């Protein structure tokens, strides 16, 4: 029994040694060929970037960026590439019924878009607010044309379909008869709404869309039923029927508590909210002569902050984070021209539990377009207020480089200074709001000093666009002196040109290609002729017949070279195997030979 076990064990070891020896011999034989393949690499290709957009075009009137007063409304300076139209700001503050005809004509707002009246408490500002909202489709499918219409790009060439609330407008939904781009009032995200504490607010939803919708006032003080006995919560199952296409619904509220809140559609909310029917709703603290900016289209800088905000802060910014699933926004939403089929595909076939977000936006745009609209401008020792909404379908982790902002409010509630938390990452679940105090005090805690500081959601996929980086919701905090006259940061890093080309977001341009002159991190040119690592000395010209004969011989040698090397490896492996089997005889012979050559060699 012992003998059999030892015999089998010895045979197994011999089989393994045989395999190892044979494999090693073959590898050794082919090593020469592989070493040539590793050194004779093709050169890097020059991938054409294609058309590149201007970082900031000349179409924006530079006067829009200046601090100014329009119809008695003081408007702060905006150093952005794409600032808001000052006429729009005046209308949002005084109401479309409170501005001059010239100012109204400088906007595309309907005459009854925002109506302000009735200073019921006698403190110098209106207390009855009527806001009319429509539902608009961006990048929609039309039976009249192949391409999308009323377009809104979140990044170069990226056009997901959105449904958004928008202020009631007049004239065309596009910029002109010859341009498909949406007019500036029709965009993502849905506008930020601002009212004052204890105002009586009528929000009139005029459903200009082809599907039913509603407005749910999330976190905002409102009665379940209004004075007319109609539902007021925007929930079809419990409060009021959904608002059908062509119909309107008025929500009446008198909010008693200030804070940063939220509004959204509550019809099929698992799809309607991600489609864009969501926005920030802010109730400002009551102050005398407090004319608030009722709408902030596109969010971002509030160019007419409230009296209460200006008591503590130099500026105010609204930050609305969103995400989009390509399947929902580019397939399902464009799947038919018949609303019945859209409803079928969206309500019975699309499964939101399988959804994966592909686009990540700040204030309706992804990087690099965030550079045009969503910069936060800072000055040393100043305080800036940020109101943040997580409109994503997943959690958000807001990180601002070079600063540790302090959270002062959660979901619109100030729990007192003992609850204030200062940190460099602020986590937020979906639908949550926080108010942040961003300080420019250079003490190594509040701020690390002046410069250009990036901020973004630190969930890593959120700074990609359709999987390509860096994109997503990246934007910048920019200090005074670090921005040019057109609002573009004076960065010291790489060129921004690739980010403003469509080829970048189609995955066709290697982002590191032009980091050095020889394109060491570009793509290999597979069509280029490979030059050997070692080049022979040039010989005198030979006859064509000799060249053809040499080429034929070389081809014959190439055909046989692999077989010859393989055969050599087999022979080498067999010799090594034989040496292992006869190692005792070989060692004995070598030892005997050495001893025979010298008698003084020790045994």
Q: What is the DSSP string of 495-529?
A: -SGGGGBHHHHTT-S-TTGGGSTT-TTS-B-TTSP
Q: What is the mean pLDDT of residues 168-189?
A: 93
Q: What is the pLDDT of residues 456-494, one digit of tens each?
A: 999 999 999 999 989 999 999 999 999 998 888 988 788
- How many C-beta atoms lie closer than 10 Å to residue 522's C-beta? 20
pLDDT tens per residue across span 329-359: 999 999 998 999 999 999 999 999 999 999 9
Task: Kindly tell me if the per-residue pLDDT of 209 is higher than 80.
Answer: yes
| Rounded Cα distance, 268 and 250, in Å | 20
pLDDT at position 568 is 77
Q: What is the pLDDT of residue 560?
A: 55
**122 DSSP 8-state letter:** -
* Predicted pLDDT of residue 50: 94
Topology adopted by domain 62-487: Immunoglobulin-like (2.60.40)
pLDDT of residue 561: 60
Could you tell me which of 291, 445, 317 has the C-alpha nearest to residue 376?
317
The predicted pLDDT at position 39 comes to: 54
Q: Who has greater pLDDT, 583 or 549? A: 583
Q: Considering only CA atoms, which of 186, 137, 189, 134 is closest in space to residue 161?
A: 137
**If we measure between CA atoms, which residue out of 329, 371, 355 comes closest to residue 456?**
371
* Domain regions of the chain by residue span: 2-40+535-597, 62-487
Q: How many CA atoms lie within 13 A of 483 on its CB side?
A: 25
The reported pLDDT for the residue numbered 37 is 47
583 Cβ contact list (under 8 Å, min separation 6): none
In the predicted model, what is the mean pLDDT of residues 394-404? 98
CA count, 13 A, side-chain hemisphere, 277: 27
Listing DSSP states for 228-285 in one string gives: TS-B-S--TTTT---B-TT-EEEEEE---S-EEEEEE--SSHHHHTTTT-EEEEEEEP
Q: Which residue has the higher pLDDT, 495 or 307?
A: 307
**pLDDT of 557:** 58
Contact between residue 519 and residue 44 where contact means Cβ atoms under 8 Å apart: yes
Taking the C-alpha atoms of residue 531 and residue 537, their distance in angstroms, rounded to an integer, is 14
Contacts of residue 4, defined as CB under 8 A and 6 or more positions apart, other chains included, come to none
H or E segment at 137? strand 128-138
Q: Are 276 and 162 in contact (CB under 8 A)?
A: yes
User: Looking at residues 436-459, what average pLDDT do you find?
Assistant: 97
Span 223-232, pLDDT tens digits: 998 888 889 9
How far apart, in whole angstroms, are the C-alpha atoms of residue 423 and residue 403? 8
d(CA 92, CA 119): 17
With cut-offs at 50, 70 and 90, classify the pLDDT of residue 29. Answer: very low
pLDDT of residue 2: 41
Mean pLDDT of 256-283: 98
Of the candidates 290, 323, 315, the residue with the CA atom closest to the CA atom of residue 376: 315
3-state secondary structure of 580: helix
For residue 135, pLDDT over 50 is answered with yes
What are the structure tokens assigned to 230, written together? Answer: 């109609």
Residue 524: strand pairing partners: 44
């Amino acid at each position: 029994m012992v003998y059999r076990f030892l015999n089998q064990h010895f045979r197994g070891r011999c089989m393994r040694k045989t395999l190892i020896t044979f494999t090693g011999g073959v590898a050794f034989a082919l090593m020469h060929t592989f070493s040539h393949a590793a050194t004779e690499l093709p050169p890097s290709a020059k991938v054409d970037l294609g058309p590149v957009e201007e970082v900031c075009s000349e179409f924006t009137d530079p006067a829009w960026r200046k601090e100014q007063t329009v119809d008695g409304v003081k408007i702060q300076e905006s150093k952005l590439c794409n600032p808001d139209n000052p006429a729009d700001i005046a209308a949002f503050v005084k109401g479309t019924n409170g501005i001059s005809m010239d100012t109204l004509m400088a906007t595309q707002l309907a005459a009854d878009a925002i109506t302000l009246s009735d200073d019921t408490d006698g403190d110098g500002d209106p207390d009855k607010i009527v806001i009319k909202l429509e539902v608009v489709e961006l990048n929609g499918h039309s039976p009249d044309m192949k391409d999308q219409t009323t377009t809104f790009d979140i990044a170069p060439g990226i056009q997901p379909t959105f449904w958004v609330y928008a202020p009631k407008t007049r004239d065309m939904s596009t910029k002109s008869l010859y341009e498909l781009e949406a007019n500036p009032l029709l965009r993502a995200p849905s506008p930020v709404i601002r009212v004052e504490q204890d105002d009586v607010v009528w929000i009139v939803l005029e459903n200009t869309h082809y599907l039913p919708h509603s407005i749910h006032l999330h976190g905002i003080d409102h009665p379940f039923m209004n004075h007319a006995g109609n539902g007021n919560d925007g929930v079809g199952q419990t409060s009021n029927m959904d608002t059908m296409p062509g119909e309107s619904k008025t929500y009446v509220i008198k909010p008693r508590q200030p804070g940063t809140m939220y509004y959204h559609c509550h019809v099929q909310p698992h799809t309607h909210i991600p489609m864009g029917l969501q926005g920030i709703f802010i109730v400002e603290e009551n102050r005398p002569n407090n004319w608030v900016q009722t709408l902030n289209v596109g969010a971002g800088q509030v160019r007419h902050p409230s009296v209460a905000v200006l008591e503590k802060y130099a500026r105010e910014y609204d930050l609305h984070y969103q995400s989009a699933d390509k399947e929902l926004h580019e397939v399902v939403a464009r799947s038919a021209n018949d609303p019945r089929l859209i409803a079928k595909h969206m309500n019975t076939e699309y499964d939101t539990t399988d959804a994966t977000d592909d686009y990540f936006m700040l204030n309706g745009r992804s990087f690099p377009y965030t550079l045009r609209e969503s910069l936060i401008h800072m000055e040393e020792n100043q305080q800036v207020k940020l109101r943040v909404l997580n409109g994503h379908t997943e959690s958000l982790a807001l990180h601002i480089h070079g600063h540790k902002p302090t959270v002062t409010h959660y979901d619109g509630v100030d729990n007192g200074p003992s609850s204030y938390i200062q940190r460099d990452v602020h986590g937020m679940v979906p639908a949550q709001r926080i108010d942040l105090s961003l300080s420019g005090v250079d003490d190594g805690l509040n701020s690390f000093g002046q410069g250009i500081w990036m901020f973004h959601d630190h969930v890593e996929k959120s700074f990609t666009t359709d999987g390509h980086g860096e994109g997503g919701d990246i934007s910048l905090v920019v200090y005074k002196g670090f921005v040019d006259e057109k609002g573009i940061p004076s960065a010291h890093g790489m060129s921004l040109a690739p980010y403003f080309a469509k080829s970048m977001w189609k995955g066709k341009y290697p982002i590191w290609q032009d980091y050095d002159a020889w394109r060491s991190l570009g793509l290999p040119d597979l069509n280029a002729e490979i030059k050997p690592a070692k080049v022979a000395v040039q010989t005198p010209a030979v006859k064509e017949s000799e060249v053809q004969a040499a080429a034929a011989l070389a081809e014959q040698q190439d055909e046989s070279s692999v077989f010859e090397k393989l055969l050599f490896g087999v022979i080498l492996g067999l010799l090594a195997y034989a040496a292992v089997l006869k190692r005792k005889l070989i060692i004995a012979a070598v030892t005997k030979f050495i001893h025979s050559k010298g008698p003084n060699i020790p045994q």
